[in-house]
Structure 1
Amino acid sequence: MVYVRALLDVDSPVHKVGDEVGVKVRLINDSSSSINVNITLDYLLEGRHVNSWTGSALALPGEVTTVNASFTVGEAGLWVIRLNGDAGTSKFTESIKVRVIEGRRPVKLALVYHMHQPPWYMSDGRYYADWAFRYVHAPVMAPFFNGGPYLFHAFLNDKYSGVKVNIHLSPSLLKQWVDAIEKGYTLINGEVHAKGSGEVNAVAKVLDMYRVQANRGQLDVLSSVYAHTILGYLASRYEIIDVIDEELGVGMEVTKSTLGVNPVGVWTPEMAWSMELLDIYEKHKVGYTVLDGGNHFPGVQGDKGSIYEPYSLGGRLTVFFRDERLSNILSFQNNIPDERSAVKLAAMLSRSIIETNGELVVIALDGENFIAMSKTPAMVGLMLDKFYSYLSRMQELGIIETVRLSQVNMSRRSITYIPTTSWLGGFTKWDGERREHAEYWVKVIDSYRYLRGLEDALGGKINEARYALWHALDSDFWWAEFWNPDLINHWVEEFRNILDSRFKIAMRPLREVYRGLVNRPIDVELEFDNDMGVNVKFKLICLDTQLDVVIQPGSSRIKCSIIPRLAGSYRVPIFVTSGNYIYLQSYVTLNVTYGNRDPPNEDSAG
């Protein structure tokens, strides 16, 4: 039976030639008695044995005993430290790698965390789900950390205050935090978390931590559109530019008012880019955004170098491209079975940053999901803590410089085009992977056209309806594996109810049947009841006649001339439209004959 386990670690998995590497051996004695352990550390460079160290330690029962050693690295290359231990009844071996480099300028490292929650609340203020709060206060990462990912990131920022990071706290997440702090929150199942409760106080604490960290210059705070809209898809497929424009303005204001900073950068949700966004970003004075090195960068046009440098898009926006491989190591290689694996992953990630040979390495990923959705969130937390420990030491050694993207001082190549796509290389995750996607997109786009036409008729925006639409468009509700038709339907219905409450016009022809001659005008008279209280402008379409009309409040009549081209008895539709939306529709029957004079109009009973 194995009684003694060993964990091998170094102060930094990257060093410069001539550095002294600190080595730490932690001995864990699982037995009930003390055990003497003999230790040998072999130092190998590219498989060649260079040096050794031997020692011994008394491992106390049920405790962790630490043995420290060090050695100087005189050559560049990949070093391996190999530990062999002899505890009498058990023997063990461990190893860890150290990349040794020649002196060079520090690699700039930008850690970018996209922290987001969709608007989980309903139109009545109750919450469908509480992830915005649960990922603060719940012991998601126990026993390593008593709290959730949002609190853990803030904790790491305080613990490693020399590590600069870039954090996107989505405006819809911030809004939920602020609302909870001000008035508590209630779930749809009736569960109440009152203002001043433990859960709400935890939210207040974490928000204050981020405020302090941002204002002391440790964080770059990125903003975005209010919710988590698939911007590039909406812009390129449906030309919903106005929604993106106004939602970005509101989102940036929420970020500014909540955190007390002016955001320079913007997170593009799902990295869903299209060139139509450039004008909007410029209008709102966005300084930079982050896109994908694997799916966006290959299609970039212009003066291209590598993903490890910033780019100026048309001289109007700085674009950084993330290292997709390194970002995905954190995002998806996160089911970590034990502390040994956590240390090895943190060390490998640290070495990989240097091994890119890039001047600027951007690692960008969801900040909460890679922790909370792991099968081992406690070990992911331990790994991230160790990674930050390495980064701190690598900064002391002049190997890495963690940076805020707004302060990156590097020359920027000029590019002219970035292809329309997402971090996944397309948009089927939100439109195509589920059978219901097509039906719901039709529903949403029809509602949007209803809105635009009614606003044109009224001559102004219906802001409460637009607010509801942002919620229905949140990409998290459309994600195939987390498809949420409940909330999409809820907000679409809220949206349409608002519009229905504003549109109060009825139309009816004064006669059901009109008689006339081919190629001679027939005047159809229509009666309108306008209960909207204001003049509204619509287009009246009677067969091939189109009239711009103003429908006044109350009852009024409008004539529309129809010129029939065929003889016979047939029904003719009459439409009231605005934009490309039909608001009212009716029919009249025409009885049309050939002749030399106009017959009198009369109805079917005549």
Structure 2
Amino acid sequence: MRALIDVDSPVHRVGDEVEVKVRLINDSHSSINVNLTLDYLLEGRHVDSWVGSALALPGEATTVKASFTVSEAGLWVIRLNGDAGGSKFTESIKVRVIEGGKPIRLALVYHMHQPPWYMSDGRYYADWAFRYVHAPIMAPFFNGGPYLFHAFLNDKYSSVKLNIHLSPSLLKQWVDAVEKGYTLINGEVHLKGSSEVNTIAKVLDMYRAQANRGQLDILSSVYAHTILGYLTSRYEMIDVVDEELGVGMEVTKSVLGVNPVGVWTPEMAWSMELLDIYEKHGVGYTVLCGGNHFPGVQGDRGSIYEPYSLSGKLTVFFRDEKLSDILSFQNNIPDEKTAVKLAAMLSRSIIETNGELVVIALDGENFIAMSKTPAMVGLMLDKLYSYISRMQELGLIETTRLSQVNMPKRNITFIPTTSWLGGFTKWDGERREHAEYWVKVIDSYRYLRGLEEALGGKINEARYALWHALDSDFWWAEFWNPDLINHWIGELRRILDSRFRIAMRPLREVYDGFINRPIDVELEFDNGMDSNVKFRLMCLDTQVDLTIQPGSSRIKCSIVPRLAGSYRVPIFVVSSNYIYLQSYITLNVAHSRDPPEYKNHQP
């Protein structure tokens, strides 16, 4: 005999009637008479009791209901004592009872993302973007993965408003699969119209409908999952973040048919350099961490349970890190009893913050899929939504879309550069290889910027490849993926190499001259780029701006040696401080002869 105790809501107001439900599960092959006692205790003090009985049929679950009125505020415990034919059991559940007051606004924010798992040829390195939709990861509780389960819960509890970030790279993979199917690098094929692909189409339609009926705020972001604050603060990749955000917001708009007001900052990797970028793209709000960002905030700071205006340009919400982490990481749930208790504890904890606005923000898929017991996590989340829905009916909670929150009353001027982890070593430092690969990335980025400056325009396909190489999921220490980083860096450099087609050679290898006297050096260029390109030539102290025309051309430059002797000197062709061409000449430099007019000079 197993017994589970539950309530309609783990939070009530004084004077409410609490509905109690006891489920008796008889795993034996015969009926059992069960005697039940419910004791109602307030802060350890016995207040009332209920006594009853039930016949538990073999192999079935029997439900017994009771109710009682809570007369005082405090933490109540409902204790169940049962006697099933001499076999005794005890269970309990807690109920927080409060005085009257305004409902707490609750913003649930789910960050659902997948890196671009596809290769440059369209084949997929991994299929998590699809598997987390159609695979029976949560069986037997739910026949599907976390992306489908979230959509299912949204429909089941349609009064619960939420905020969901579906990363643009995830949306693109879904759309591509629906339109043409998908193929893995191992040769596995999922055709358009297959059951797996049809499930992906279904989940897309569900999210569209939920957003359009006003249940969801859809957050956008940069296209992939880059650590924005790190890129902008350390490597000054303002241009990369700027254009990738524009593309990401356009993907969100075109796929889901909404104009996103908020954006998710991947890894909550913030730096103040992002503020103007967000303002430029019309971003209304983002969500950062109450544990890692909020302590360093400067300005009119109250608590994490209210919105803030950052320099009048962006509304910032700070998540309750403790509550978010409970949901994120307490995800190995052995049984239904533990699932119910965790859902009840979370529900009480929301009320116990006494916050005006409580933001719970976390990855939407990982706490389910990466659990050892994903079915039980699904049951827990279903129970949490059941509690939230009932608490909303009771006027204890008001779930909200973040775009519905009133304008901030407080203004702040600075948020420190950090991530939800309190730093960036997870992506640069925890693995020995990190340093080597960041050098590859930064060298490739400088190659790109310099070539664009020389050409006078953006090389969009190269920038697209760079976004992919920078996806933070590939850099995460425990899931380090050098295969895809190398693939996309290689694709970036292949594109740039195909655009840069210039050769340079000196007409002579050796030049004679005198110290501090000009030497004319002539260079020949072969430009196969079909357009004029602008570079800077550097040799010794000489710097000359060049416009190199298509085809073959000769350019003469004058250099002035400052040292006597025979030595080699390099000639560089650069753009934006990146060296594109390099050659050498040998100089034979003698001391200068005295000018004729000084030969007979007397002191």
TM-score when scaled to structure 1? 0.98
* Partner amino acid, structure 2, of 1:508: R
Task: Choose which of 8, 12, 33 in structure 1 pairs with 2:5.
Answer: 8
Correspondence for 1:447 among 412, 428, 444 = 444
In structure 2, relative to structure 1, the CA distance for the partners of 1:411 and 1:535 (3 Å cut) is: closer
4+ runs of 1 displaced by more than 6 Å?
A: none
Aligned to 2:150: 153
- The equivalent position to 2:512 in structure 1, one of 497, 510, 515, is 515
Matched residue, 2:241: 244
| Paired letter, 1:93 | T
8 Å CA contact 1:14, 1:100 repeated in 2: yes
1:63 has 2:53 as partner: no
Distance in 2 between the 1:413 and 1:379 partners? Answer: 41
Partner of 2:601: none
Aligned counterpart, 2:600: none
Q: Which among 563, 566, 569 is matched to residue 569 of structure 1?
A: 566
Task: Output the CA distance in 1 between the equivalents of 2:142 and 2:577.
Answer: 55
Q: What is the SS of the residue equivalent to 1:330?
A: helix
Aligned to 1:231: 228
Matches within 5 A, 1:314-329: 314-329=311-326
Quick one: which amino acid aligns to residue 394 of structure 1? M
**Alpha carbons 1:273, 1:419 under 8 Å: kept:** yes
Cα-to-partner distance string for 1:297-317 (whole Å, 9 max, x where unaligned): 000000000000000000100
- Counterpart CA distance in 2 for 1:367 and 1:514 is 68
Match of 1:431 in 2: 428
The residue number in structure 2 matching 1:210 is 207
| Distance in 1 of aligned mates of 2:198 and 2:452 | 42
1:57 alignment partner, SS class = strand
How far, CA to CA, are the matches of 1:125 and 1:252 in structure 2? 22
User: What is the distance in 1 between the residues matched to 2:70 and 2:355?
Assistant: 23
Instruction: For residue 52 of structure 1, give the secondary structure of its aligned residue in structure 2.
Output: strand
8 A contact 2:135–2:144 mirrored in 1: yes
Partner of 1:592: 589
Distance 1:152 1:418 in 2: 35
> What code does the residue aligned with 2:64 have?
V
Change (3 A) 1:586 1:137: same
Which of 516, 529, 532 is 1:532 aligned to? 529
Q: 1:24 to 1:299 in 2, by over 3 A?
A: same
Gaps of 5+ in 1: 599-606
Residues 569 and 589 of structure 1 are in contact (CA less than 8 Å); yes or no, is this contact kept in structure 2?
yes
- The equivalent residue for 1:29 is 26
* Helix, strand or coil at the partner of 1:557: strand
* Aligned match for 1:388, one of 373, 385, 388: 385
Task: Please point out which of 293, 300, 304 is paired with 1:303.
Answer: 300
How do 1:132-281 residues align onto structure 2 when only pairs under 5 Å count?
Answer: 132-281=129-278
Secondary structure of the 1:173 match is: helix
How many positions carry a matched residue from both structures?
595
User: For the residues of structure 2 that align with 1:457 and 1:158, how far apart are their CA atoms?
Assistant: 54
Q: What is the aligned partner in structure 1 of residue 280 from structure 2?
A: 283
Q: Report the Cα distance in structure 2 between the residues aligned to 1:566 and 1:61, rounded to whole angstroms.
A: 102
The equivalent of 2:598 in structure 1 is none
Identity in percent: 88
Equivalent residue, structure 2, for 1:122: 119
Over residues 472-508 of structure 1, what are the superposed CA-to-partner deviations in whole Å (9 max), with x where a residue is unaligned?
Answer: 0000000000000000000000000000000000000
Residues 357 and 410 of structure 1, relative CA distance in 2, 3 Å threshold: farther
Match of residue 599 from structure 2: none
1:58-109 deviation per Cα after TM superposition (whole angstroms, max 9, x unaligned): 0000000000000000100000000000011311000000000001100000
Match of 1:112 in 2: 109
Match runs of 1:309-348 below 5 Å = 309-348=306-345
Contact 1:542-1:560 within 8 A present in 2 as well: no
1:38 paired with 2:35, answer yes
d(CA) in 1 for partners of 2:568 and 2:558? 15
Q: Distance in 2 between matches of 1:214 and 1:228?
A: 22
CA positional deviation for 1:411:
3.8
**Aligned amino acid, residue 212 of structure 2:** N
Counterpart contact for 1:517–1:594, Cα < 8 Å: yes
> Is 2:309–2:408's contact at 8 Å kept on the other side of the alignment?
no
Q: CA deviation at 1:560?
A: 1.3
- Rounded Cα–Cα distance in structure 2 between residues aligned with 1:322 and 1:450: 39
2:477 aligned with 1:475: no
Deviations 1:402-446 (CA, angstroms, capped at 9, x unpaired): 000000125431000000000000000000000000000000000
Cα shift at 1:597: 8.2
Q: Give me the CA root mean square deviation.
A: 0.7
Superposed, 1:65-80 pairs within 5 Å as 65-80=62-77
Shift of 1:277: 0.1
- Structure 2: distance between partners of 1:261 and 1:184: 25
* Secondary structure in structure 1 of the residue aligned to 2:15: coil
- 1:44-59 matches, within 5 Å, as 44-59=41-56
From 477, 482, 503, give the equivalent of 1:485. 482
Q: Secondary structure at 1:352's aligned position in 2?
A: helix
C-alpha deviation, 1:459, in angstroms: 0.2
Deviation at 1:150, TM superposition (A): 0.1
Q: Distance in 2 between matches of 1:531 and 1:89?
A: 93
* Residue identity in the other structure for 1:359: E
Shift of 1:594: 1.3
Matched residues in 1 for 2:466 and 2:369: separation? 29
- Superposed CA deviations along residues 29-57 of structure 1, whole A, max 9, x for unmatched, are 01111111000000000000000000000
After superposition, give the CA deviation of every residue in 1:248-270 in whole Å (9 maximum; x if it has no partner).
00000000000000000000000
5+ long unaligned stretches in structure 2: 596-603
Q: Secondary structure at the match of 2:115?
A: coil
**Which residue does 2:90 correspond to in 1?**
93
- The residue number in structure 1 matching 2:406 is 409
Q: Tell whether the 8 Å contact from 2:315 to 2:408 is kept in structure 1 after alignment.
A: no
- TM-score with structure 2 length normalisation? 0.98
Aligned partner (choices 540, 543, 547) of residue 543 of structure 1: 540
Contact 1:228–1:475 (CA under 8 A) maintained in structure 2: yes
Letter in 2 for 1:213: Q
Give 3-state SS (helix, strand or coil) of 2:446's partner. Answer: helix
Structure 2: how far apart are the matches of 1:595 and 1:200? 80
Does the aligned pair in 1 maintain the 2:574–2:580 contact within 8 Å? yes
